[in-house]
Amino acid sequence: MYKKQGLYDPVHEHDACGVGFVANVNGARTHEIVQDGITILKNLVHRGAVGGDQKTGDGAGILIQLPHLFFQKEAIRSKISLPVPGSYGVGMLFMPQDKVAREDLSKEVEKAIAEEGGKMLGWRDVPICPECLGEMAREILPFIRQVFVTFDGLEGDDLERKLYITRKVIEHRSENKGFSIEDFYICSFSSKTIVYKGMFVAPQFEEFYPDVKDTDFRSAIALVHQRYSTNTFPSWPLAQPFRYLAHNGEINTLRGNVNKMKAREATLHSKLYGDETKKLLPIINPGLSDSAIFDNGFELLANSGRSIEHSVMMMVPEAFGAKYHISQDKRAFYEFHAAVMEPWDGPAALAFTDGVKVGATLDRNGLRPARYVVTKSGKVVMASEV
């Protein structure tokens, strides 16, 4: 967790960036969608920021569906036996460069998975090309590893929830060991999606991660983000997308949102989690950026039996007063949820996905730009600008 340093206080962290996605409406997974996502990323490069060395970016990344064909091929090389798609999860981890600390954390990850009833399938060190990075990015470059895990009898949403719990348990273990998110961070831990991101400018992305150039690296959805951190520092963990979304804007009500989420933790309950609910606490990590904190809240709702569109409408409601021309049913929906959760307000454009559906929304005043088009070939393209 971050500590105050002089005039810097992490509670004031915000960011304003470029965001977008591309998806095949028919759900077909292709390498072309990944390439299109990278093209969007490059076209949004002017919406990001670059450091004094002119090569270190505030951050860029992509969130896609788990590329099973690619991982199956890589697993054979690493002598890992992968089960059928949807029955295993992959964690994308930023770990320390120090070998002793990394091995210590790797053991903690393995212990947590075993304690939660999971089975380790193996590790994969992600190939990277750090030569393309700026000096500042290289100085704090993490060691990037992937972990493959399965839970007997679990698949689909049940497996996704178990991976969510396991990730929170791993995070608690690393905190207890004294590691901050700059030392150890889990970019994604899912059976449906994976996040490739880092502290670079968009054109460096595909050069840094050779994985994304492989023709078996396929997805029907590619959600991308180019970061411009207005009130925070560049950081590998705080690059976007996060585990469910990419965010362009600011959450102006953040302190209240965090406090209210913390206050309701004592009464949180779900039949889907039972006694394991306590393993999820605290829901929010206050040391993160406003976008990452929003993602913390969003993943709780999305993993608790609600659809992603339901979850985002709870957190970012549109204006629903009596003078607004919306249906009675929709107004009733917003009025009911206003008693369940306060709005996360501020100028924002959000793109979000659970690996099955993808969507986007604006704040109630539409203060951040977002445009979309549906092509004749059956693609949906959304971005911060045309």
Encode pLDDT of 179-236 as tens digits.
999 999 999 999 999 999 998 888 899 999 999 999 999 999 999 998 766 555 678 9
CB contact set of 174 (below 8 Å; sequence gap of 6+): 105, 108, 183, 184
Sheet containing 221-226: order of strands: 193-198, 60-65, 221-226, 18-24, 379-383, 371-374
Work out the number of other CB atoms within 10 angstroms of the CB of residue 318. 17
The lowest-confidence range among 16-25, 48-57, 62-71 is 48-57
Condensed to tens digits (0 to 9), the pLDDT of residues 2-24 reads 455 666 555 544 445 889 999 99
Asked if residue 257 lies in contact with residue 221, where contact means CB atoms within 8 angstroms, the answer is no
Alpha carbons 382 and 237: distance in angstroms, whole number: 24
Query: Average pLDDT in the 334-353 region?
Result: 94
Asked if residue 222 lies in contact with residue 64, where contact means CB atoms within 8 angstroms, the answer is yes
Q: Which two tokens stand for residue 110?
A: 């393995």
Q: Is 17 tagged catalytic?
A: yes
Q: Which amino acid is at 246?
A: A
Average of per-residue pLDDT values in the chain: 91
Work out the number of other CB atoms within 10 angstroms of the CB of residue 75. 18
Query: Average pLDDT in the 116-129 region?
Result: 97
Q: Which among 17, 129, 132, 187 is annotated as catalytic? A: 17
- Position 14 scores a pLDDT of 42
Task: Band the pLDDT of 177: cuts 50, 70, 90.
Answer: very high
Is pLDDT above 70 for 240?
yes
